[in-house]
Amino acid sequence: MPERSSPVPTGPRRRATPFALLIVLAAGAALSGCSSLYSETATTGAGIAGAAVAAKVTNNAAVATGIGLGVVAAARAGVQYSERVVHRNTQDRIAQIAGPLDVGAVATWSITHSMPIEDDEHGRVTVSRSISSGALDCKEIVFSVDHNATKDAAASSAFYVASICRDGSAWKWASAEPATERWGSLQ
């Protein structure tokens, strides 16, 4: 009876490190444009990395748990920070377009995110009233977030009210509460 030969490895065999797995998961989430997937992937990746670090550092379950929770908390804080940056960039873009408008004038706005954790957006903005002028120049705006029609959904728009104020030569977002529905507590 002939002997069966086992396959011969052609090169060194490498194990994927938890850090490499974390990078792959984060890259996949970043390319997806889906905020919830980004958040869950970062948290899961941090949990895996935290477990790997804890296993190398200690055999004490309490210390390992503390390390894991700390790494997950840091990952969540990082995700929330990046979401705030994306939201601030969108708000600044809307304020930049709305600032020079007269009451009743309408303009279009759009944003292309440099960090693709949320979809690029576009819509319209109008100034509904001037709140004050002079030393404190502020306006109330109404803006839409427009969604184009797809084969699965009709075109739609959502409308929001906000305040903007001039900060030197730039217009900045000045309201917190009206945008809570849109951006949650992560303004």
Alpha helices (H) in the chain, listed in sequence order: 18-32, 35-57, 61-98, 180-183
The pLDDT of residue 29 is above 70: no
Q: Which of 142, 141, 145, 101 is nearest to 123 (CA)?
A: 145
Mean pLDDT of the chain: 73
* Residue 46 domain boundaries: 15-187
122: in domain: yes
3: in domain: no
Q: How confident is the model over 112-153, as pLDDT tens digits?
A: 887 777 788 999 999 999 998 788 899 999 999 999 888 998
Angle of the 61-98 helix axis to the 35-57 helix axis, nearest 10: 150
6: in domain: no
7: in domain: no
Residue 149 is predicted with a pLDDT of: 87
The pLDDT of residue 21 is above 50: no
Neighbours of 2 (CB within 10 A): 4
69: in domain: yes
4: in domain: no
Stretch 2-24: mean pLDDT:
47
Q: Is 88 helix (H, G, I), strand (E, B) or coil?
A: helix
Counting Cα atoms < 13 Å in the Cβ hemisphere of 133 gives 6
Instruction: Please tell me the distance from the alpha carbon of residue 185 to that of residue 69, in angstroms, as a whole number.
Output: 23
Q: How confident is the model over 38-63, as pLDDT tens digits?
A: 555 555 555 566 556 666 666 676 77
Residue 25 is predicted with a pLDDT of: 43
Residue 49 is predicted with a pLDDT of: 61
78: in domain: yes
Residues paired with residue 161 on neighbouring β-strands, in sequence order: 142
Q: How many domains does the chain have?
A: 1
Classify residue 35 by burial, with Cβ atoms within 10 Å: 0-12, 13-18, 19+: middle
What backbone torsions phi and psi does residue 110 show, to the nearest 5 degrees?
A: -155, 155
The pLDDT of residue 26 is above 80: no
8: in domain: no
Q: What percent of the chain has pLDDT over 70?
A: 58
Residue 181 is predicted with a pLDDT of: 56
Residue 16 is predicted with a pLDDT of: 46
Residue 23 is predicted with a pLDDT of: 46
Q: What percent of the chain has pLDDT over 90?
A: 28
Q: Is 185 helix (H, G, I), strand (E, B) or coil?
A: coil
Most confidently modeled of 24-38, 134-148, 169-183? 134-148
Instruction: Please tell me the distance from the alpha carbon of residue 171 to that of residue 164, in angstroms, as a whole number.
Output: 6
